[in-house]
Amino acid sequence: MGFKSFKLDPRVEKGLQAAGYEKATPIQAAAIPVALEGHDLIGTAQTGTGKTAAFVLPILHNLLAKSQANPGKTRVLIVTPTRELAEQIHEVIAKLGRFTPLRSATVYGGVGMIPQERALRKGTEIIVACPGRLLDHIKRGNAKLDHVEVLILDEADRMLDMGFLPSIQQIIQHVPAKRQTMLFSATFEPALEQLIHKSMRTPKKISMGIEAPAATVAHALYPVNQHLKTNLLVKLLKEMTVKSVLIFSRTKHRADRVVEKLEKAGYATAGLHANKSQSQRKHALDQFRSGKLQILVATDIAARGLDIASISHVINFDIPDSATTYIHRIGRTGRAAKTGDALTLVTPEDRAIVRDIEKILGKPIEKRTVEGFDYHEKAAPSEHTHAAHPRSEGFHGRNNAFGGAAAGRSNPYNYGGAPNRGGAPSRSGAPNRGGAPSRSGAPSRSGAPSRSGAYSRSSAAGKGQGYSNSRSRY
């Protein structure tokens, strides 16, 4: 479906043409007419299918149609979980609204409040905000939201995951009850029901492929021992054409170590996580978009909102902790009908998550090995590994983590570090349970982080925008 059928304001159509938009995606084709009519809307669709334009285009059109209403006031509030998402939405608004007089501004933590205060006090028409910083401005009297006509809750499931539900409920109390509310999400979880019940009026529901990755993404697993992951990653990169690769790490410290290793291997690489300042994060993203950086190593802070069509590969250095997060991660490639690859380095500890992912995909994921890679290399003493216990033999022993089968026999995953090529399975050198975190909170023997460094799900929001301060591993 072409955009002409929506009969948008000519200035918005001109912006669409300049931005290269030609055909509406399924979520856009379904959502735009409903939003144009002013209905409340719940939209769920796969990550990377154009949800942002699905609400930005109706907003621009309707604001222009009522251009004399509430001049000099904030008329649209878009609430989103992370700075990166806020910036991306802001960029889409600027791109599609470039031939209109409408303005937008971002409000999030990690940067100075004064420019944001000016934008709020001037009554910028569209405000794109993260919950914590917006509440700071509300408490200081900077944000006047009593003329808001449209409230957008973007990536609502992610905001709930980050503990923002109380903050969102507070924000809703500051906008008029008579308004249009649109909620967009990559997945639809039961926890959203409470929010919908309290904030929306008989919403129209549009669902496009919930919890399913785009068909344009190819998936593969690379079984490997924990201590060999970095070496395998380098070997893997050497065998592919590296132009634009996004790598996900479970923790910010591990992300930094991967960046250091890849830079030594000669790749232009940068990290993206909560320990980086906003200017550092923006610079890294700009460099990555422009092609000056070949590789970006990120924690899940980047799993949503990175609309970079050129990403050819997403590599999970660490498998995520849920199948849903996997979908959000790999949604960074194969966007806008382009093809992409999602590669995941896996250890025996990852079996349960792999099964969950395969259930969503509806088929097993291909398992691959890299020719010429030494899967039997022992961990260096500095990595604090130890010989495998005879009853817990890592990848290759009889009582391995995948149900007691020796590698290459009845184990359905055959995650043994090296492919079984007829030789006897190795019984030494494998780290116990792949370097799983210790239950006591102390670092595991292979150097993996303890559970005390886990991601904070507290509802306290502020400058950290939902991440705990120095203890956050993201």
Give me the tens of pLDDT residue by residue for the chain, a chain 474 residues long: 789 999 999 999 999 999 999 899 889 999 999 999 999 999 887 666 788 999 999 999 999 998 766 678 899 999 999 888 899 999 999 999 999 999 999 999 988 999 999 988 888 999 999 999 999 999 999 998 999 999 999 988 888 878 898 999 999 999 999 999 999 887 676 778 878 888 899 999 998 765 556 667 889 999 999 999 999 999 999 998 888 899 999 998 999 999 999 999 999 999 988 788 878 888 998 899 888 999 999 988 665 656 676 788 999 999 998 887 888 788 777 554 457 889 999 999 999 999 989 988 888 999 999 999 999 888 776 554 443 333 333 443 333 333 333 333 333 344 444 444 434 444 344 444 444 444 444 444 444 444 333 333 333 333 334 333 333 444
Please tell me the distance from the alpha carbon of residue 457 to that of residue 187, in angstroms, as a whole number: 18
Q: Return the bridge partners of 105, or none.
A: 127
Tell me, yes or no, if the pTM score tops 0.85.
no
In this structure, what token pair is assigned to residue 227?
């201590």
Residue ranges of domains in the chain:
3-208, 217-452
Same fold yes or no, 3-208 and 217-452:
yes
* CA distances, 373 to each of 5, 222, 234, 260, 369 (Å): 55, 12, 10, 21, 8
The sheet carrying 217-223 orders its strands as 269-272, 295-298, 245-248, 313-316, 340-346, 217-223, 366-367
Specify the CATH architecture of the domain 3-208.
3-Layer(aba) Sandwich (3.40)
217-452 has CATH 3.40.50.300 classification: yes
User: Angle at CA 357, nearest 5°, toward 426 and 346?
Assistant: 25
